[in-house]
A = this chain, B = another copy of it.
Protein backbone atom coordinates (compact mmCIF):
# COMPACT_ATOMS: atom_id res chain seq x y z
CA UNK A 1 0.00 0.00 0.00
CA UNK A 2 1.70 3.16 -1.20
CA UNK A 3 1.46 6.45 0.65
CA UNK A 4 -0.62 7.99 -2.10
CA UNK A 5 -3.63 8.07 0.16
CA UNK A 6 -5.52 10.88 -1.42
CA UNK A 7 -8.63 12.55 -0.09
CA UNK A 8 -10.48 9.48 1.09
CA UNK A 9 -13.06 11.70 2.70
CA UNK A 10 -16.75 11.16 1.95
CA UNK A 11 -16.38 7.51 1.02
CA UNK A 12 -17.00 5.19 3.92
CA UNK A 13 -13.52 4.46 5.14
CA UNK A 14 -13.13 0.84 6.09
CA UNK A 15 -11.38 0.16 9.36
CA UNK A 16 -8.16 -1.81 9.26
CA UNK A 17 -9.49 -4.60 11.44
CA UNK A 18 -12.33 -5.09 8.93
CA UNK A 19 -9.92 -5.62 6.08
CA UNK A 20 -7.86 -8.00 8.18
CA UNK A 21 -10.99 -9.91 9.18
CA UNK A 22 -11.97 -10.26 5.54
CA UNK A 23 -8.52 -11.50 4.53
CA UNK A 24 -8.57 -14.03 7.34
CA UNK A 25 -12.03 -15.23 6.33
CA UNK A 26 -10.81 -15.84 2.80
CA UNK A 27 -7.87 -17.85 4.06
CA UNK A 28 -10.10 -19.86 6.38
CA UNK A 29 -12.60 -20.62 3.62
CA UNK A 30 -9.74 -21.62 1.32
CA UNK A 31 -8.54 -23.97 4.08
CA UNK A 32 -5.18 -22.30 3.99
CA UNK A 33 -5.84 -21.89 7.70
CA UNK A 34 -7.17 -25.32 8.58
CA UNK A 35 -9.79 -26.12 11.19
CA UNK A 36 -8.13 -26.97 14.47
CA UNK A 37 -4.86 -25.20 13.65
CA UNK A 38 -3.60 -22.46 15.93
CA UNK A 39 -3.43 -18.86 14.86
CA UNK A 40 0.10 -17.48 14.85
CA UNK A 41 -0.37 -13.80 15.62
CA UNK A 42 3.23 -12.84 15.06
CA UNK A 43 3.43 -14.52 11.70
CA UNK A 44 0.25 -12.80 10.54
CA UNK A 45 1.26 -9.36 11.74
CA UNK A 46 4.60 -9.76 10.01
CA UNK A 47 2.95 -10.95 6.82
CA UNK A 48 0.39 -8.16 6.76
CA UNK A 49 2.79 -5.51 8.01
CA UNK A 50 0.49 -4.41 10.81
CA UNK A 51 0.58 -4.45 14.59
CA UNK A 52 -1.12 -6.96 16.81
CA UNK A 53 -3.87 -4.57 17.87
CA UNK A 54 -6.04 -4.61 14.72
CA UNK A 55 -5.28 -8.28 14.16
CA UNK A 56 -6.55 -9.18 17.60
CA UNK A 57 -9.64 -7.05 17.04
CA UNK A 58 -10.29 -8.96 13.85
CA UNK A 59 -9.89 -12.25 15.71
CA UNK A 60 -12.50 -11.17 18.23
CA UNK A 61 -14.96 -10.53 15.42
CA UNK A 62 -14.24 -13.85 13.73
CA UNK A 63 -14.73 -15.53 17.08
CA UNK A 64 -18.18 -14.05 17.51
CA UNK A 65 -18.96 -15.26 13.99
CA UNK A 66 -17.99 -18.75 15.06
CA UNK A 67 -15.10 -19.13 12.64
CA UNK A 68 -12.49 -19.00 15.38
CA UNK A 69 -12.48 -20.36 18.90
CA UNK A 70 -10.77 -18.34 21.61
CA UNK A 71 -8.83 -20.14 24.31
CA UNK A 72 -8.17 -17.45 26.92
CA UNK A 73 -4.56 -17.38 27.90
CA UNK A 74 -3.57 -19.88 25.23
CA UNK A 75 -4.45 -18.30 21.92
CA UNK A 76 -7.09 -19.17 19.39
CA UNK A 77 -7.69 -21.73 16.70
CA UNK A 78 -9.83 -22.18 13.64
CA UNK A 79 -13.14 -23.79 14.59
CA UNK A 80 -13.68 -27.44 13.75
CA UNK A 81 -17.16 -28.64 12.84
CA UNK A 82 -18.32 -32.12 13.73
CA UNK A 83 -21.04 -34.27 12.23
CA UNK A 84 -23.38 -32.99 14.92
CA UNK A 85 -22.83 -29.41 13.83
CA UNK A 86 -23.76 -30.31 10.27
CA UNK A 87 -26.85 -32.13 11.47
CA UNK A 88 -27.85 -28.99 13.34
CA UNK A 89 -26.95 -26.37 10.75
CA UNK A 90 -28.52 -27.84 7.63
CA UNK A 91 -32.07 -28.04 9.03
CA UNK A 92 -31.76 -24.42 10.10
CA UNK A 93 -30.62 -23.41 6.66
CA UNK A 94 -33.45 -25.40 5.10
CA UNK A 95 -35.91 -23.63 7.35
CA UNK A 96 -34.59 -20.12 6.69
CA UNK A 97 -33.91 -20.45 2.99
CA UNK A 98 -37.20 -22.28 2.59
CA UNK A 99 -38.91 -19.21 3.99
CA UNK A 100 -36.93 -17.06 1.57
CA UNK A 101 -38.10 -19.17 -1.31
CA UNK A 102 -41.69 -18.83 -0.11
CA UNK A 103 -41.46 -15.06 0.10
CA UNK A 104 -39.56 -14.80 -3.15
CA UNK A 105 -42.22 -16.77 -5.00
CA UNK A 106 -44.83 -14.36 -3.68
CA UNK A 107 -42.98 -11.14 -4.33
CA UNK A 108 -40.91 -11.69 -7.45
CA UNK A 109 -41.81 -9.35 -10.32
CA UNK A 110 -41.08 -9.74 -14.01
CA UNK A 111 -37.58 -8.31 -13.68
CA UNK A 112 -36.78 -10.75 -10.91
CA UNK A 113 -38.06 -13.60 -13.02
CA UNK A 114 -35.76 -12.58 -15.82
CA UNK A 115 -32.73 -12.46 -13.53
CA UNK A 116 -33.59 -15.84 -12.08
CA UNK A 117 -33.82 -17.31 -15.56
CA UNK A 118 -30.50 -15.79 -16.54
CA UNK A 119 -28.68 -17.15 -13.52
CA UNK A 120 -30.25 -20.56 -13.85
CA UNK A 121 -29.30 -20.74 -17.52
CA UNK A 122 -25.75 -19.95 -16.51
CA UNK A 123 -25.88 -22.82 -14.05
CA UNK A 124 -27.07 -25.19 -16.75
CA UNK A 125 -24.26 -24.10 -19.01
CA UNK A 126 -21.60 -24.40 -16.31
CA UNK A 127 -22.85 -27.85 -15.38
CA UNK A 128 -22.65 -28.85 -19.04
CA UNK A 129 -19.01 -27.73 -19.13
CA UNK A 130 -18.26 -29.41 -15.80
CA UNK A 131 -16.99 -26.09 -14.42
CA UNK A 132 -17.35 -26.86 -10.72
CA UNK A 133 -15.78 -23.68 -9.42
CA UNK A 134 -17.93 -21.57 -11.68
CA UNK A 135 -21.03 -23.55 -10.74
CA UNK A 136 -20.25 -23.09 -7.08
CA UNK A 137 -19.87 -19.35 -7.57
CA UNK A 138 -23.04 -18.80 -9.56
CA UNK A 139 -24.96 -21.15 -7.29
CA UNK A 140 -24.06 -18.90 -4.41
CA UNK A 141 -25.26 -15.87 -6.34
CA UNK A 142 -28.52 -17.67 -7.13
CA UNK A 143 -29.25 -18.35 -3.49
CA UNK A 144 -28.41 -14.76 -2.62
CA UNK A 145 -30.78 -13.57 -5.30
CA UNK A 146 -33.64 -15.55 -3.79
CA UNK A 147 -32.86 -13.97 -0.43
CA UNK A 148 -32.74 -10.53 -1.98
CA UNK A 149 -36.14 -10.97 -3.61
CA UNK A 150 -37.56 -12.15 -0.29
CA UNK A 151 -36.50 -8.75 0.97
CA UNK A 152 -35.83 -9.52 4.64
CA UNK A 153 -32.42 -8.10 5.48
CA UNK A 154 -32.18 -9.75 8.89
CA UNK A 155 -33.10 -13.10 7.43
CA UNK A 156 -30.42 -12.67 4.79
CA UNK A 157 -27.89 -11.73 7.42
CA UNK A 158 -28.60 -14.81 9.51
CA UNK A 159 -28.45 -17.12 6.50
CA UNK A 160 -25.15 -15.67 5.38
CA UNK A 161 -23.72 -16.11 8.88
CA UNK A 162 -24.78 -19.74 8.95
CA UNK A 163 -23.34 -20.34 5.48
CA UNK A 164 -20.06 -18.77 6.55
CA UNK A 165 -19.75 -21.33 9.31
CA UNK A 166 -20.61 -24.16 6.95
CA UNK A 167 -17.75 -23.10 4.73
CA UNK A 168 -15.42 -24.39 7.42
CA UNK A 169 -15.93 -27.91 6.08
CA UNK A 170 -13.81 -28.66 3.08
CA UNK A 171 -16.50 -30.99 1.84
CA UNK A 172 -18.78 -28.09 1.27
CA UNK A 173 -16.82 -27.04 -1.76
CA UNK A 174 -16.17 -30.57 -2.93
CA UNK A 175 -19.38 -32.47 -2.55
CA UNK A 176 -21.04 -30.56 -5.30
CA UNK A 177 -18.80 -32.21 -7.86
CA UNK A 178 -20.71 -35.47 -7.73
CA UNK A 179 -23.99 -33.71 -7.33
CA UNK A 180 -24.04 -31.25 -10.20
CA UNK A 181 -26.91 -32.92 -12.03
CA UNK A 182 -28.96 -33.64 -8.93
CA UNK A 183 -28.46 -30.13 -7.64
CA UNK A 184 -29.45 -28.76 -11.01
CA UNK A 185 -32.66 -30.80 -11.07
CA UNK A 186 -33.58 -29.50 -7.63
CA UNK A 187 -32.91 -25.98 -8.84
CA UNK A 188 -35.17 -26.52 -11.84
CA UNK A 189 -38.03 -27.46 -9.56
CA UNK A 190 -37.35 -24.41 -7.40
CA UNK A 191 -37.15 -22.04 -10.35
CA UNK A 192 -40.32 -23.51 -11.80
CA UNK A 193 -42.17 -22.92 -8.56
CA UNK A 194 -41.00 -19.33 -8.27
CA UNK A 195 -41.86 -18.52 -11.87
CA UNK A 196 -45.29 -20.10 -11.31
CA UNK A 197 -45.65 -17.94 -8.17
CA UNK A 198 -46.27 -21.04 -6.06
CA UNK A 199 -44.84 -20.21 -2.60
CA UNK A 200 -45.58 -23.54 -0.95
CA UNK A 201 -43.95 -25.51 -3.74
CA UNK A 202 -40.98 -23.15 -3.78
CA UNK A 203 -40.47 -23.58 -0.07
CA UNK A 204 -40.67 -27.36 -0.32
CA UNK A 205 -38.21 -27.38 -3.20
CA UNK A 206 -35.68 -25.27 -1.33
CA UNK A 207 -35.98 -27.35 1.83
CA UNK A 208 -35.52 -30.54 -0.16
CA UNK A 209 -32.54 -29.04 -1.96
CA UNK A 210 -30.74 -28.30 1.31
CA UNK A 211 -31.64 -31.60 2.93
CA UNK A 212 -30.08 -33.34 -0.04
CA UNK A 213 -27.01 -31.19 0.48
CA UNK A 214 -26.57 -32.62 3.95
CA UNK A 215 -26.93 -36.16 2.69
CA UNK A 216 -24.37 -35.58 0.00
CA UNK A 217 -21.70 -34.60 2.50
CA UNK A 218 -22.28 -37.82 4.40
CA UNK A 219 -21.86 -39.79 1.21
CA UNK A 220 -18.31 -38.47 0.81
CA UNK A 221 -17.16 -39.06 4.36
Contact = CB atoms under 8 A, between A and B. Distances in A.
A89 B158 CA distance: 10
Contact of A15 (B14, B53, B72, B99): B72
A73 B158 contact: no
Contacts of A152: 88, 91-92
A208 to B, nearest CB: 17
A88 B155 contact: yes
A158 B162 contact: yes
Give the number of copies in the complex: 2
A80 B56 CA distance: 27
A65 interface: yes
B158 A154 contact: no
A4 interface: no
A133 interface: no
Contact of A13 (B60, B61, B72, B162): B72
A125 B14 CA distance: 52
B60 A12 contact: no
A85 B158 contact: no
A191 interface: no
A141 to B, nearest CB: 22
Nearest to A12: B72
A14 B57 contact: no
Sort A-B residue pairs by CB-CB distance and give the 6 closest, nearest first: A88-B154, A88-B152, A13-B72, A15-B72, A64-B64, A61-B64
